[in-house]
């Protein structure tokens, strides 16, 4: 049987976390998943290198970029 | 989006700044970056089944869980490299599941099966140390921002793999007897294969685009020397006995005084960084990733005859 992707439509999420209360959240990576629940599971399993005090994911589609390196500013 | 001209990219690199988007890259930079990421992703991915075969021989449940945790790390590291490649326009699905197994690029060492817990921990101490040197260089000097940031996690976890390798090697060495002899045999055949991870000696390289683009900061010889110093002197690994030895592995012959004897001067086969057509990985592991009909399950096999 040829390989087919389980889900035809997936979304990209950025993963943010911080190790201590005094530091700000920072981006630690990203995951691709078909829905929020799986994205949370992937983020938890993939970025488990620290004992984070906080972790959150944000759909990339929800991020509004004002400017970025390499873009028009 | 128009690619940056080479002058703008060169100026950005000279200022020590990071490249953040494809609009800042030249086609040459993008090609070199993708190639470097692919070798990294493939190496991390293929280490997982290689380590799994040996992890099954773990002496305790705790040790087995450590082995499985290391394998999970390696898969996550592969994911990071492939995911960045996806952001650069490649298909992660195609790279992992649809590529010809012989097109995967990883060090020859992973074509030689690891068959015992002892071999796994020596691989942690040697192979992971080599990966630590190579990726640490990219983490420290690399010019591509997303990869540099992604490597924070990788470096933290590779450190854990090294500790597992060093602690167990020390423990096995101190046990003495047959256990120590087995450890020495593993060091003997894995040492030259790990030297191969660092590629051509500098005097045989014409030019390094990777250095020009600051995709890495140190030359092959510098990285190899770093591995020799950090991998062997810092802990109580048994090392090859001093004196000249002829090593026939990975398509090379080397006169080497071993780890304690200083600089190795190997001659390299240009094909040594590709999956050998006869390799078990190319024929058995990698096709298992593919979900074509009749794809084999991960096999249990013995080291092929003729391997060091």
Per-residue pLDDT reduced to its tens digit, B151-207: 998 998 888 999 999 999 999 999 999 999 999 999 999 999 999 999 989 988 877
Whether A65 and chain B come into contact, CB under 8 Å, resolves to: no
B308 assigned to some structural domain: no
Distance from CA of A14 to the nearest CA of B (A): 12
B178 assigned to some structural domain: yes
Whether A51 and chain B come into contact, CB under 8 Å, resolves to: no
pLDDT at B207: 72
What three-state secondary structure class fits B77? helix
The ipTM is 0.73
Q: CATH number of the domain that B284 lies in?
A: 1.20.1260.10
| Cα A62 to Cα A30: distance, rounded to the nearest angstrom | 14
pLDDT of residue B237 exceeding 60, the answer is no
B301 assigned to some structural domain: no
pLDDT at B92: 86
- DSSP string for A35-59: SHHHHHHHHHHHS-SS--SEEEEEE
Residue of A42, A50, A70, A71 to mutate, interface with B, max B Cβ within 10 Å = A70
Q: State which residues form the domain around B213.
A: 6-241+272-289
The pTM (predicted TM-score) of the whole model is 0.77
Residue of B153, B292, B293 lying closest to A47 (CB–CB) = B153
pLDDT interval class at B241 (50, 70, 90): very low
Tokens 């092929």 correspond to B304
B186 assigned to some structural domain: yes
Q: What does the pLDDT look like over B258-305, one tens digit per residue?
A: 333 333 333 333 333 444 444 555 566 666 655 443 444 333 333 433
Beta strands across the sheet bearing B252-256: B245-249, B252-256, B265-267
| Cα B282 to Cα B290: distance, rounded to the nearest angstrom | 12
B247 assigned to some structural domain: no
Question: How many distinct structural domains can be found in chain B?
Answer: 1
Cβ contact B72–A69 (<8 Å): no
B276 assigned to some structural domain: yes
B307 assigned to some structural domain: no
Chain A CB contacts of B291 below 8 Å: 1-3
Distance from first CA to last CA of chain B, Å, rounded? 51
**Cα of B196 vs its chain's centroid, Å:** 10
For B147, the token pair is 């990869």
Asked which of A23-32, B120-129, B201-210 is least confident by mean pLDDT, the reply is B201-210
Distance from CA of A2 to the nearest CA of B (A): 5
Going by C-alpha positions, the residue among B155, B147, B142, B150 that lies closest to residue B215 is B142
Mean pLDDT of chain B: 79
B220 assigned to some structural domain: yes
Asked if residue B282 lies in contact with residue B104, where contact means CB atoms within 8 angstroms, the answer is yes
Asked which of A5-19, B12-26, B78-92 is least confident by mean pLDDT, the reply is A5-19
């Amino acid at each position: 049987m040829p390989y087919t992707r389980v889900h035809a439509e997936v979304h990209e999420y950025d993963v943010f976390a911080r190790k201590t209360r005094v530091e700000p959240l920072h981006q630690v990576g990203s995951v691709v998943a078909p829905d929020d629940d799986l994205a949370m599971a992937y983020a938890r399993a993939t970025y488990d290198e620290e004992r984070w005090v906080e972790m959150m994911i944000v759909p990339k589609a929800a991020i509004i970029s004002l400017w970025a390196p390499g873009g028009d500013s | 989006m128009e690619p940056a001209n080479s002058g703008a990219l060169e100026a950005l690199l000279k200022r020590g700044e990071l490249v953040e988007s494809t609009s800042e890259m030249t086609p040459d930079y993008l090609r070199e970056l993708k190639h470097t990421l692919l070798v990294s992703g493939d190496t991390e991915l293929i280490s997982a089944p290689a380590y799994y075969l040996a992890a099954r021989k773990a002496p305790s449940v705790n040790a087995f869980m450590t082995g499985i945790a290391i394998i999970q790390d390696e898969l996550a590291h592969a994911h990071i490299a492939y995911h960045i490649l996806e952001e650069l326009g490649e298909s992660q699905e195609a790279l992992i599941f649809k590529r010809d197994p012989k097109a995967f690029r990883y060090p020859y060492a992973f074509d030689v099966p690891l068959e015992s817990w002892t071999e796994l921990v020596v691989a942690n101490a040697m192979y992971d140390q080599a990966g630590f040197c190579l990726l640490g260089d990219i983490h420290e000097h690399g010019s591509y921002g997303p990869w540099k940031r992604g490597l924070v996690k990788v470096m933290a976890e590779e450190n854990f793999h090294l500790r597992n390798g060093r602690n167990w090697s020390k423990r096995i060495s101190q046990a003495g007897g047959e256990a120590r002899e087995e450890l020495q045999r593993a060091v003997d055949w894995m040492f030259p294969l790990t030297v191969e991870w660092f590629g051509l000696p500098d005097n045989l390289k014409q030019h390094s685009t990777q250095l020009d683009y600051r995709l890495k900061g140190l030359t092959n010889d510098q990285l190899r020397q770093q591995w020799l110093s950090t991998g062997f002197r810092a802990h109580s690994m048994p090392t090859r006995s001093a004196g000249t030895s002829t090593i026939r592995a990975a398509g090379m012959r080397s006169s080497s005084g071993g780890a304690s004897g200083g600089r190795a001067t190997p001659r390299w086969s240009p094909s040594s960084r590709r999956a050998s057509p006869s390799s078990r990985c190319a024929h058995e592991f990698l096709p298992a990733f593919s979900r074509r009909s009749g794809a084999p399950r991960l096999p249990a096999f013995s080291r092929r005859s003729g391997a060091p």
